Structure 1
Amino acid sequence: MSEMSAHQQLPSLAAERRRAEYHPSVWGDFFLADDAAQERMDFDDTSKQQIEDLKNEVKRIFEVAASDDNPRELLNLVNHTQRLGIGYHFEKEIVEALKQVHERSIESVDGPSFASDLYTTALMFRLLRQQGYKINSSAFSKFKGPDGNFDESLETDVRGLLSLYEASHLRTHGEDVLEEALAFTLTHLASTNEKLGPALIRDEISRSQRQFNIRKGLTRLDSRKYIKIYEEEASHNKVLLKLAKLDFNLVQTLHQRELGCISLDVKKNFPFTRDRIVECYFWSMLAYEPEHASVRIIFTKVIALITIIDDIFDIHGTFKELEVFARVVERWDMEVIDELPDYMQVCYRALLDVYREAEHLLPEEVRSYSIPFSIESMKGMVRAYFAETKWYHHQYTPTMEEYMQVALVSGGGLFLAATAFVGLKDVVTKDDFEWLFKIPKIVRGCQIVIRLINDMATHKLEQKVGQVVSAVECYMKQYGVTEEEAKHELWKHVNDAWKDINEEALHQTVVSAPLLNMIIDIARMMGVWYEDIDIYTNSRTKMKDAITSLFIDPFPLAM
């Protein structure tokens, strides 16, 4: 290209590039490993031994509770153990406990005799459904009056209402009694004074009034909050509480070490993009348990790169650059890197390097099939991004059907699941990946949740920087409705998608529970990520507080 023609192109390129004012990283080098940081991360052998001793005590508590003729205490033990974030230590005990409860639950159509009250019935229902048991929702019919509505006398049973509220979020299609239960509990809990009663009840009321729930929450973040509230309960189990605090602190030190080893010089190489490495690591908390280090490392790096690629497509790349980038990613070969402009070469090289690094974390027999599937999911993301770019370039607003066909892919549900599956190297098989890529109903439900919640939270900001249309705009144009009406309808689709997820979780025998739970957790993450706004992009808000609570502040321990 001549000097003249090169200069002639500069203004048009500058005009074609868009700009978004993303704030810089909140954390900078805070988590990078150094001697002082390493000293903060030390967890002494005495505390580790304490954890082992406490785990043995909890196992004995399970044995005692399992031998009791009345399983109420067993249900409460399972509930507290899971919500305190230590359930992963007692998977065998929890499986056996819920198997025992389920056997008792089918004693009669009205449920077992030990679950005659609303609190116990709803708790049993939720825990069994979470475990994959197809317990019948007709058990709640006994709490209705002659008029077919829930008995108004229940309005004073706050603990029962809270338990029923949580159970209702495990509903599937056609379960009218649980739809009615949700409306009933929301109505009465909304008028309940959350300042009254024990701390745990006050917190649960507040959560319900903001329509938060266990089913759609992030376990690690919720457990941090639950430990603090549980401690204020006069009847709390001291062994459970101490183990929860010690274990939280131990796992936190592990996460700190991992964060200190993850680096990607986003600010230097990609000044136009969101610098969110720590926030990317937060994503990996859907696999917070110590044994899932490979999930977290792979997930963080891949999420960081897809963020860069997303911003290249949305705001920085020209149409011609993006066209070449999409073609080069499809090739997946370093031989074609010179076709790209310099900044894209840096991104492309980092992309291929991350997947090569992932290969080294996996056994040979697993990497032979998991890495190709994961790469294919990344290619799918880039194809979808470019399809959306063409819409923008041609100023075309697609129909909802056209939009969703592409946007379910660009939303990242399949991509996130495939990336997470790579890290679950001890349980995932080639058949599991083949099942995943057939997009079964639970995966499609996850895709819908991700896409629509994302769109409803971010569409106004993205329109300001000239990004492609969202489901909100497509729905408004196609059906001639207002933004409020469009969002109301899209929320119905989200709720239906959760019913699909819940339903499929009860019917699965094809893949193992850890893989199913990973898909569910990816959908759950959306409630955290896009509660009111996009707290990933705007990470100086609630995201900063969440990261501080999970990765910086340990629980103080009594001497």
Structure 2
Amino acid sequence: MATQAKIEQDHFRPSANFPSSVWCCSFALICDVGDHHESDVFNKFKDNDGGFKKAITNDVKSLLGLYEASFLCVHGEDILDEALAFTKQYLETLAEQHGKTKIHQYISFYEKEESRNETLLKFAKLDYNRIQLLYRQELAILSRWSRDLNVTHKYPYTRDRIMEAYVWALGSICEPQFGASRLMIAKYVQVETVLNDTYDAYGTLDELYRFTAAFERCNVDGIDD
């Protein structure tokens, strides 16, 4: 009897029946930026040496327009990267003079102040929107990665929580320049979720003993290498 019970225990497979993700890949993939042309529009802002005209720095409206246009930047379009770097340094100098951090954090309050600086307010809103676009683009990258990983098909017992993983990473590191870290954290959390659910919601005791042994061998081999 004891032997039979041990066999049944080793081969018992739990079933957690996790609810499916409320998000779908299409939700995040809509964040992709479509194809567009640079149709030489931005070259009019450049001088004969290939740099942006210094005179633009005296025209705040042109600076804001060029900064907003840089939102369309995708990989490989150097002129928009240059436009972002060029305009942002001057706009941030203006913002620093008026307390950028306070204005960015309290845009809705600042725009109600009678003494508000309309140019600075517009820059704050544009910068906020640009950061949101960055986050959406990162989410699109993760969505494609998760779709290629095909978790729901290969491991139907596990939770597909890439959206939640990204929000968790974003809550830990929100600074725009640390996008690579956010992507790495979100991917790690999703992979860890698969492993966790394999242990808690799918694997039999016998399978988990074998899986753990194989995993430990991989770690040892990695260290030796």
Q: TM-score if structure 2 supplies the norm length?
A: 0.59
Distance 1:283 1:318 in 2: 30
Distance 2:27 2:100 in 1: 37
1:42 aligned to which of 72, 76, 80:
72
| Aligned positions of 1:405-554 closer than 5 A | none
Deviation string 1:185-210 (CA, Å, 9 cap, x unpaired) is xxxxxxxxxxxxxxxxxxxxxxxxxx
Q: Which runs of 5+ in 1 are unaligned?
A: 1-8, 62-76, 85-222, 336-351, 353-371, 373-559
| Aligned positions of 1:262-273 closer than 5 A | 262=142, 263-264=145-146, 265-273=150-158
Residues 42 and 253 of structure 1 are in contact (CA less than 8 Å); yes or no, is this contact kept in structure 2?
A: no
Q: Secondary structure at the match of 2:25?
A: coil
Structure 1 vs Structure 2 CA RMSD:
3.7
Distance 1:251 1:278 in 2: 17
2:216 aligned to which of 300, 307, 330:
330
Residues 251 and 289 of structure 1 are in contact (CA less than 8 Å); yes or no, is this contact kept in structure 2?
A: no
What residue number does 1:309 align with?
Answer: 195
Counterpart of 2:19, as a letter, is Y
Deviation string 1:134-179 (CA, Å, 9 cap, x unpaired) is xxxxxxxxxxxxxxxxxxxxxxxxxxxxxxxxxxxxxxxxxxxxxx
Q: Residues 231 and 31 (structure 1 numbering): CA distance in 2 closer, same or farther, change over 3 Å?
A: same
Distance 2:158 2:9 in 1: 21
What residue number does 1:246 align with?
Answer: 126
Identity of aligned residues (%): 27
Q: Compute the displacement of 1:234 (Å).
A: 4.7
Residues 267 and 275 of structure 1 are in contact (CA less than 8 Å); yes or no, is this contact kept in structure 2?
A: yes
Residues 54 and 239 of structure 1 are in contact (CA less than 8 Å); yes or no, is this contact kept in structure 2?
A: no
Q: Residues 38 and 315 (structure 1 numbering): CA distance in 2 closer, same or farther, change over 3 Å?
A: same
1:231 aligned to which of 111, 127, 140:
111
Tell whether 2:50 aligns with 1:20.
no
Residues 22 and 273 of structure 1 are in contact (CA less than 8 Å); yes or no, is this contact kept in structure 2?
A: no
Q: Compute the displacement of 1:272 (Å).
A: 1.5
Q: Compute the displacement of 1:305 (Å).
A: 0.8
Counterpart of 1:279, as a letter, is E
Q: Compute the displacement of 1:17 (Å).
A: 1.2
What residue number does 2:184 align with?
Answer: 298
What residue number does 1:405 align with?
Answer: none
Residues 25 and 275 of structure 1 are in contact (CA less than 8 Å); yes or no, is this contact kept in structure 2?
A: no
Q: Compute the displacement of 1:310 (Å).
A: 1.9
Distance 1:248 1:231 in 2: 14
What residue number does 2:162 align with?
Answer: 277
Residues 51 and 246 of structure 1 are in contact (CA less than 8 Å); yes or no, is this contact kept in structure 2?
A: no
Distance 1:284 1:257 in 2: 15
What residue number does 1:318 align with?
Answer: 204
Distance 1:55 1:79 in 2: 11
Counterpart of 1:31, as a letter, is A
Residues 9 and 205 of structure 2 are in contact (CA less than 8 Å); yes or no, is this contact kept in structure 1?
A: no
Distance 1:297 1:282 in 2: 11
Q: Residues 57 and 314 (structure 1 numbering): CA distance in 2 closer, same or farther, change over 3 Å?
A: same
> RCO greater where, 1 or 2, for CA within 8 Å and sep 6 or more?
2
Q: Residues 318 and 59 (structure 1 numbering): CA distance in 2 closer, same or farther, change over 3 Å?
A: same
Counterpart of 1:256, as a letter, is R
Q: Residues 299 and 23 (structure 1 numbering): CA distance in 2 closer, same or farther, change over 3 Å?
A: same
What residue number does 1:31 align with?
Answer: 28
Distance 2:23 2:217 in 1: 36
Q: Residues 250 and 331 (structure 1 numbering): CA distance in 2 closer, same or farther, change over 3 Å?
A: same
Residues 231 and 241 of structure 1 are in contact (CA less than 8 Å); yes or no, is this contact kept in structure 2?
A: yes
Distance 1:26 1:277 in 2: 9
Q: Compute the displacement of 1:237 (Å).
A: 5.0
2:102 aligned to which of 68, 80, 87:
80
Q: TM-score if structure 1 supplies the norm length?
A: 0.26
Q: Secondary structure at the match of 1:56?
A: helix
